Chain A
Amino acid sequence: MSRRDSQSAYRFGNLFILINDKGIIVINTIAHTLKHIAFKDLNIFIQPFDTNQKCVFVNNTYQISVPNYLLIFNAGFELIEKHPFPEALEIHHAFKDSRGHIWACSFKKGIFLYTAAQLRTLYYLKGKK
């Protein structure tokens, strides 16, 4: 039984957000405008999926999780954070909390916590490469 549709639809105020394994479609229901964000344009290459996508609106940002990634967009739907997870962890959903920690969920291995301090170090070291 699928937990979610193959194309999930979310609604936050005037924005209607559709997510599938190709990308994200943002429709403004008042302005009647469309924005399409292809995952390949974000350098995200994911296996086709049909059940594990989610969008939440937190602190004026949109957090979208797809398998092995957490993507955070600003109110204008520009990508401001991209968090990839190791495939071995089999992460299907992740969430960044108000303290900056990321909680990543799996169906087989429980929860993985990346603290804000860990993330800062991780990206500092990545930037130094």
Chain B
Amino acid sequence: MSFKTTVITILIYFYAACGATAQEPTNYSAKNGLPTNHVYDVQEDKDGVMWFATNRGLVKFDGKNFKAFTIKEGLPNNDVWELYLDGKKRLWVFSKSRYQSYVLNDSIYNFATSDGKTISPAPIYEVDNALWLRAGYYKFDGAEFKVQNDYATFYHGGSQQVFQKHGLNAEAAAVSYDFIFNQYFLIKDGELWFLNADGTVLKK
């Protein structure tokens, strides 16, 4: 084998090795530091630190080590489903509980629902610096998650009436309700309807 052939062969092996490495991610699991393999969610905090929601608590990863936060550290529930970094750079930690939490400087701060009900995490809305939880329509007022009764009552009781008024079958259409602005969105046959809470058409 000539010198040139040897060099090319080495380069090909090197190139292949680089390619193989590049395509294989690093796996973090219970085998190398994670408290569990069951990971729901991931979020980066304002300092670039990674956090994971798991069924065995909230897990912080500083690039080298994992640190778990559980009930012992003040979490309301070890089965953490959802993380959210809000506009104020607070890392929220959501679980099925009557308390929801944020973490700041490795301390857990818990906030109750105003009606004492246990809620399941659902998509979080942030509008005009206010944090809302769609599960039951709670708005965080700085001290607690205050239930917005009008919205909840309307959403669960009013939708069928709105649809029937227009001869629409809600099940046949994509529909959602914007409880912040009191609007229904309804998509039927590719057409978008905006309806007021009382069923009047805003725009079709």
Contact = CB atoms under 8 A, between A and B. Distances in A.
Contacts of A97: 44, 48, 50
B48 A98 contact: yes
B37 A106 contact: yes
Contacts of B8: none
A29 B181 contact: yes
B118 interface: no
Nearest to B38: A107
A16 interface: yes
Interface residues of B, number: 48
B174 A111 contact: no
12 contacts: A1-B120, A9-B123, A9-B176, A16-B178, A32-B203, A105-B41, A107-B39, A109-B29, A111-B28, A111-B34, A112-B27, A118-B21
Interface residues of A, number: 48
Given A34-B187, A113-B26, A118-B23, 8 more contacts: A5-B122, A9-B123, A10-B125, A11-B125, A11-B127, A56-B43, A93-B40, A112-B25
A126 B78 CA distance: 41
Contacts of A62: none
Please report whether the interface of chain A is mostly helix, strand, loop or mixed according to DSSP: strand
Nearest to B125: A11
Interface string A1-31: 1011101111111001010000001010100
A114 interface: yes
A27 B185 contact: yes
B29 to A, nearest CB: 3
B64 to A, nearest CB: 13
The 3 closest A-B pairs by CB, nearest first: A110-B29, A121-B22, A11-B125
Contact of A32 (B19, B134, B202): B202
A99 interface: yes
Nearest to A95: B42
Nearest to B183: A29
A73 interface: no
A110 B192 contact: no
Nearest to A112: B25
Contacts of A94: 42
A38 to B, nearest CB: 12
Contacts of B50: 97, 103
B29 A111 contact: yes
Contacts of B183: 29
Contacts of A108: 37-38
A75 interface: no
B145 interface: no
B138 interface: no
A16 B176 contact: yes
